[in-house]
Amino acid sequence: MSDGGLSLDDFGDLIERPSVRIRRRAEERRARTGLAPKALGRLDDLGAWLAAAQGRVPVAPIERPRAVLFAGDHGIAHLGVSARAAGTASALVRDALEGASPAAVLARQAGVPLRVVDLSLDCPADELPDEVARHRVRRGSGRLDVEDALTAAEAERAFRTGMALADEEADAGTDLVVLGDISVGGTTAAGVLIAAMCGTDASVVTGRGGVRIDDLTWMRKCGAIRDGLRRARPVLGDQLKLLATVAGADLTAMTGFLLQCAVRRTPVLLDGVVSAACALVGQRIAFRAPDWWLTGQASGEPGQAKALDRMASEPLLDHGITVGEGTGGLLALPLLRAAAALAAELPELPAPTPPEEPSTAEPTAEEAVAEAT
């Protein structure tokens, strides 16, 4: 990145795809195990993807994964678009920090450290641990239907924060990131981004959220996404401005995080509609970046399905889980670990010994006499 203003065009040059050559070597190794082709189903593809991302054959086990959750409150929640009250995402953060949320339970069970980063929670910063609150950009994001969610300076700061966090994880040796969000109003912001990127109407991407909302709340949410779309469409050509207009600090930081993970060759497991929306913006910025990301689960949100279809990303699991917070990615992690183990540990069959060629040499005199007698 340049030292002056943030240049998103740089990502197109900095991001390379996982090694095609290494992937081919992994596939050749798999063919030598003696198992029938496609006998392991998608696990074969996952093993080859991991090998390409790691740049090695056989693939290494996933030993240092990390769950990273970006937290924020969205001003649009004051319109009653969520089943949760506006400004209450901090309560969800406390549950995660205390080990009482579904994601925290799964992370603990899988032995995965869980990191929560406050970008725009609507609570006093001193109510949270310093390692959570020290990256905060602002207290709450603006109401995307009538005002920009962030100023231009705040958007750049949030984006750079996401990049810096990706660098921290790569430098610490994290070999896989499970990405999630903790937000109130975040799925509404995600819906605006996806509808804008896919050129579709609000109703096509409006879902029921992590806590299922009733029909009246759904209609308010649909209206909020429609109004946000009117503000998003004129700035579609400038992705940083788009994020400032409708995304909020948490989604903006997640986008920067995803792109920098691709720069640093760190694989990422996406969770639900919010991370899918950020990935879709990331794809618009650098078309090779999505090759570093997998989708952990289908959340049932129509916006997520729309985004994944645009990115040609097939979820690993579909269990109807809507809770968010990285839960779907954490559930998919054992599948990815299994794929790595199979790709690395299945023994290769020895190469068949070629049959001996019959001798065409003329027999010696002694051999001819012996044969005659």
On the question of a cis peptide bond just before residue 58, with omega within 30 degrees of 0, the verdict is: yes
Burial class (CB in 10 A: 0-12, 13-18, 19+), 320: exposed
Long-range contacts of 216-220 (CB under 8 A, 24+ apart): 217/80, 217/81, 217/82, 217/83, 220/79, 220/80, 220/81
Q: From edge to edge, which strands make up the β-sheet containing 114-120? A: 114-120, 65-73, 176-184, 268-270, 293-295
305 secondary structure, DSSP code: H
SS3 content of the chain, % helix, strand, coil (to 5): 50, 10, 40
Number of other CB atoms surrounding residue 7 within 10 Å = 10
- In the chain, DSSP assigns E strands to 65-73, 114-120, 176-184, 268-270, 293-295
Show the CA angle centred on residue 67, arms to residues 64 and 73, nearest 5°: 160
C-alpha to C-alpha distance for 43 and 83, rounded to whole angstroms: 37
Residue (of 287, 293, 294, 310) closest to 16 by Cα position: 287
C-alpha to C-alpha distance for 169 and 178, rounded to whole angstroms: 12
Burial class (CB in 10 A: 0-12, 13-18, 19+), 15: buried
Burial class (CB in 10 A: 0-12, 13-18, 19+), 38: exposed
Cβ atoms of 208 and 324 within 8 Å: the answer is no
Assess whether 28 carries a catalytic annotation.
Answer: no
Which residue of the set 301, 325, 366, 371 is catalytic?
325
147 secondary structure, DSSP code: S
Q: CA separation (Å) from 81 to 207, 211, 224?
A: 11, 11, 8
By annotation, the residues acting in catalysis are 325
